[in-house]
Amino acid sequence: MVGCTGLIDHDFINRIDLSLWLCSLYMEKEHRGKALENLLIEQVKKDAELEGFGSIYLCTELNEFYEKYGFKYIGEGFYTDGQPSKIYETKLIKSYSI
Protein backbone atom coordinates (compact mmCIF):
# COMPACT_ATOMS: atom_id res chain seq x y z
CA MET A 1 0.00 0.00 0.00
CA VAL A 2 1.36 3.40 -0.97
CA GLY A 3 -1.56 5.65 -0.03
CA CYS A 4 -5.16 5.90 1.10
CA THR A 5 -8.13 8.21 1.56
CA GLY A 6 -11.75 7.92 2.55
CA LEU A 7 -15.23 9.42 2.48
CA ILE A 8 -17.14 10.13 5.67
CA ASP A 9 -20.55 11.65 6.43
CA HIS A 10 -19.15 14.30 8.74
CA ASP A 11 -15.70 15.48 9.73
CA PHE A 12 -15.21 16.68 13.30
CA ILE A 13 -16.02 20.26 12.38
CA ASN A 14 -19.00 22.47 13.20
CA ARG A 15 -20.41 22.47 9.64
CA ILE A 16 -22.86 19.61 10.13
CA ASP A 17 -24.87 20.95 7.19
CA LEU A 18 -22.17 19.71 4.77
CA SER A 19 -21.67 16.13 3.62
CA LEU A 20 -19.68 14.07 2.24
CA TRP A 21 -16.16 14.74 3.43
CA LEU A 22 -12.89 13.56 1.92
CA CYS A 23 -10.76 12.45 4.83
CA SER A 24 -7.38 11.02 5.69
CA LEU A 25 -5.62 11.52 2.36
CA TYR A 26 -2.19 10.03 2.87
CA MET A 27 0.63 9.07 0.52
CA GLU A 28 3.88 7.41 1.57
CA LYS A 29 6.70 9.93 1.32
CA GLU A 30 8.60 8.13 -1.44
CA HIS A 31 5.47 8.12 -3.65
CA ARG A 32 4.52 11.78 -3.25
CA GLY A 33 4.70 14.08 -6.27
CA LYS A 34 3.87 11.32 -8.76
CA ALA A 35 0.20 12.32 -9.24
CA LEU A 36 -0.97 9.28 -7.25
CA GLU A 37 -2.90 11.58 -4.91
CA ASN A 38 -4.95 12.64 -7.93
CA LEU A 39 -5.93 9.03 -8.61
CA LEU A 40 -7.21 8.65 -5.06
CA ILE A 41 -9.11 11.94 -5.14
CA GLU A 42 -10.67 11.17 -8.52
CA GLN A 43 -11.86 7.78 -7.26
CA VAL A 44 -13.44 9.42 -4.21
CA LYS A 45 -15.21 11.89 -6.50
CA LYS A 46 -16.57 9.05 -8.66
CA ASP A 47 -17.75 7.14 -5.60
CA ALA A 48 -19.55 10.22 -4.23
CA GLU A 49 -21.20 10.87 -7.60
CA LEU A 50 -22.41 7.29 -7.82
CA GLU A 51 -24.05 7.75 -4.41
CA GLY A 52 -25.86 10.86 -5.66
CA PHE A 53 -23.82 13.63 -4.02
CA GLY A 54 -23.25 16.92 -5.85
CA SER A 55 -20.22 18.07 -3.86
CA ILE A 56 -17.58 16.81 -1.47
CA TYR A 57 -15.82 18.79 1.23
CA LEU A 58 -12.62 18.66 3.21
CA CYS A 59 -10.99 20.56 6.02
CA THR A 60 -7.27 21.20 6.11
CA GLU A 61 -4.50 23.50 7.21
CA LEU A 62 -2.64 23.02 3.92
CA ASN A 63 -2.25 25.90 1.48
CA GLU A 64 -2.28 25.49 -2.30
CA PHE A 65 -2.55 21.69 -2.30
CA TYR A 66 -6.18 20.78 -2.82
CA GLU A 67 -6.80 23.67 -5.22
CA LYS A 68 -4.85 21.81 -7.92
CA TYR A 69 -7.39 18.98 -7.58
CA GLY A 70 -10.41 21.22 -8.15
CA PHE A 71 -11.26 22.20 -4.56
CA LYS A 72 -12.20 25.79 -3.72
CA TYR A 73 -11.99 27.48 -0.34
CA ILE A 74 -15.50 28.18 0.99
CA GLY A 75 -14.83 29.38 4.53
CA GLU A 76 -13.63 28.51 7.97
CA GLY A 77 -14.99 25.92 10.34
CA PHE A 78 -14.16 24.96 13.89
CA TYR A 79 -13.33 21.67 15.55
CA THR A 80 -15.00 20.73 18.82
CA ASP A 81 -11.98 22.08 20.73
CA GLY A 82 -12.41 25.49 19.05
CA GLN A 83 -9.47 25.17 16.66
CA PRO A 84 -10.16 26.68 13.21
CA SER A 85 -9.75 24.88 9.92
CA LYS A 86 -10.18 25.90 6.30
CA ILE A 87 -13.07 24.20 4.48
CA TYR A 88 -12.88 23.37 0.79
CA GLU A 89 -15.51 22.13 -1.65
CA THR A 90 -15.44 20.56 -5.08
CA LYS A 91 -18.55 20.29 -7.21
CA LEU A 92 -19.12 16.92 -8.81
CA ILE A 93 -20.16 16.44 -12.41
CA LYS A 94 -23.13 14.12 -12.69
CA SER A 95 -21.71 11.95 -15.43
CA TYR A 96 -22.40 8.48 -14.05
CA SER A 97 -25.54 6.37 -14.21
CA ILE A 98 -26.85 4.92 -10.98
Distance CA 51, CA 49 (A): 5
Q: Which helix (H) or strand (E) holds 26?
A: strand 21-27
Q: How far is CA 38 from CA 32, 50, 91, in A?
A: 11, 18, 16
Within a domain: 97: no
Q: How many domains does the chain have?
A: 1
pLDDT band at 93 (very low <50, low <70, confident <90, very high): confident
Q: Print the domain residue range for 37.
A: 3-91
Tens of pLDDT, residue by residue over 43-76, are 999 999 999 999 999 999 999 999 999 999 999 9
Within a domain: 96: no
Tens of pLDDT, residue by residue over 3-57, are 999 999 998 899 999 999 999 999 999 999 898 999 999 999 999 999 999 999 9
